Structure 1
């Protein structure tokens, strides 16, 4: 019961892609780092997902049993642009997700994270399958498409209408940034040549308790303090930098009963803490609200590793897990001083 830690295997994608770690190596790593559960992108690590062979399934269950690891979430995407001349029909979208539900059931996974842009119309036709196979479906609330996004609200309204325990939300902690990720800023300045004055401007928004969305006005037009100093080279940074949000925890209040799971974003561990997010504060909030579920480390600092440096996925994830357990133990013991 209570808050449990997990790791998204997406956090180890460079290790996996470059064949330094197999799936079994990852399970061993989870055990070595006392991780309670794990999350997987089946498309990334299981051949021919969601249409898994009997051999793949048998190997999966053998590994899970052998290493005593707990699969708790499957990350599912819905590519509506499979064809050049049209988007998928509603029926095609639903049928694809039915197959994902069936696969999760076969894998022993009871929660599917739906990528942020999945439309609300899939909920009602999928609900009988979610119930039959005992698999919950939860939309990811991610910075850039947070709770106030029209597409997200479309899903939420339908979620509230059906009001089923099988339909909910996954909250990504990237909506609770208190500082811009330092690794993101440094990569953009040192490698991509972004104007340091623009980076300083975005940092200043956070210094005032705001975030990168402050750089944009009506119709997502860039405000003059940015536009007057920006060049074309700076535009990718500007368009990504408003994806780090600084929201209060209270935005979860009205949706609390629907929250199933958390992605705990990690960009950089510095002196035992994640540089951008106050995880003690967030965990204290979840504890006080009585959250009973998993918080999964999701490392994305790998993509901002400076040239000449090795990607430190295993080290960063292990340090993040250590931090989470330390904070959870201190909060549960009432030791608020030793954070």
Structure 2
């Protein structure tokens, strides 16, 4: 029977980890204490010498899994094709790097690796034999600003359909389902000198059921005059290229892709005191997934941490816990 399960991406707690307020044991214990079933790992950040960790490092990771009962779900992978100043990596070099990531995921007990958005389609076929040998799937992240209408994404999807393998799929980032522009982003940028008028314009688009990404596309790939008119300050010019990274797709955009969707990032900017996230309808999404028999994990991915105002305390732990409590309550209601 299909069942939706919750996970946490440790990306959500990166400030706690980076500034040594929490180590890997602390992070895993936090997940255990709050009923989280699965974990999404960033080996580059949290596993020494990745993608070639020592056996001692691997054993330590498995000991943490045994102690907490948290299940390893997916490893986040970044294909650094611009490692060198004078050239991009060759196709063979790219594929060889990803083969190493597949082997590492197998050692860590992960059945899947997330390919960051824009990873080229041509890695799929050469990687398939290794995916099968090590029982690790590859899944491209569908991310706001680089979602279903991007040429690179479309090329990957076409190749995924052509190969039609259970080892190739998609990870959906719910930043493509914003129904409001995140107010923590607005507050942070206005504090840095951005114009409130720029965000008033973005809010007006969401109120109409659209977003800047769609409006620019409909305008032949150029910014509409209404948007250009509200770009006034230096900070406006710096942030304007990022404004189309918050999209307002309907859940139905996933209808044809449900057989290929293997994992979800529950993008989260701000859990409100009332319960729901300010920008997104998680309950509606979970109801959609339940109706479509999704059998997999939905992983908290907190990104409000990059928009904390100066002098305000970091809220990673509180926000992750609030998100998990809300997701788990919704799933209890929907699945029981």
Question: Normalised by the shorter chain, which TM-score bucket?
Answer: over 0.9
- Please, which runs of 5 or more residues in structure 2 have no aligned partner? none
Q: Which residue of 2 aligns with 1:240?
A: 242
Give distance in 2, aligned partners of 1:301 and 1:173. 14
Whether contact under 8 Å (2:145, 2:213) holds in the other structure is: no
The 2-side partners of 1:229 and 1:318 are apart by 37
Shift of 1:216: 2.6
CA distance in 2, matches of 1:68, 1:257: 28
| 2: CA distance, partners of 1:95 / 1:216 | 37
Corresponding residue SS for 1:242? helix
The corresponding residue for 1:280 is: 283
SS of residue paired to 1:269: coil
Q: Which residue in 2 is equivalent to 1:203? A: 203
Write the distance in 2 (CA, Å) between the matches of 1:187 and 1:228. 21
Deviation of 1:214 after TM superposition, in Å, equals 4.8
- Please tell me whether the aligned partners of residues 73 and 113 of structure 1 are also in contact (alpha carbons under 8 angstroms): yes
1:301 to 278, 299, 304: 304
> Following TM superposition, by how much is the alpha carbon of 1:215 offset from its aligned partner in structure 2, in angstroms?
5.1
Partner of 1:259: 261
- Between the aligned partners of 2:56 and 2:257, the Cα distance in structure 1 is 41
Deviation at 1:62, TM superposition (A): 1.5
Q: Which runs of 4+ in 1 moved over 3 A?
A: 217-220
* Contact 1:268–1:275 under 8 Å retained in 2: yes
> Deviation at 1:219?
5.2
C-alpha contact (below 8 Å) 1:205/1:214 kept by paired residues:
no
Partner of 1:146: 147
Q: Secondary structure at the match of 2:83?
A: coil
**Range with greater deviation from structure 2 (122-131 or 58-67):** 58-67
Q: Measure, in 2, the Cα distance between the counterparts of 1:72 and 1:131.
A: 17
- CA-to-aligned-CA distance 1:172-212 (integer Å, 9 cap, x gap): 0000000001100111112x111111110000000111112
1:336 matched residue in structure 2: none
What pairs up with 1:1-339 in 2 under 5 angstroms?
A: 1-190=2-191, 192-214=192-214, 216=216, 218=219, 220-231=221-232, 232-270=234-272, 271-333=274-336
TM-score, normalised relative to structure 2? 0.97
- For 1:164 and 1:229, the matched residues in 2 are separated by 47
SS in 2 for 1:168: strand
Contact 1:136–1:167 (8 Å) recurs in 2: yes
Displacement of 1:8 after TM fit?
0.1
Partners in 2 of 1:177 and 1:20 — Cα distance?
31
Q: Is the 8 A contact 2:120 2:156 kept in 1?
A: yes
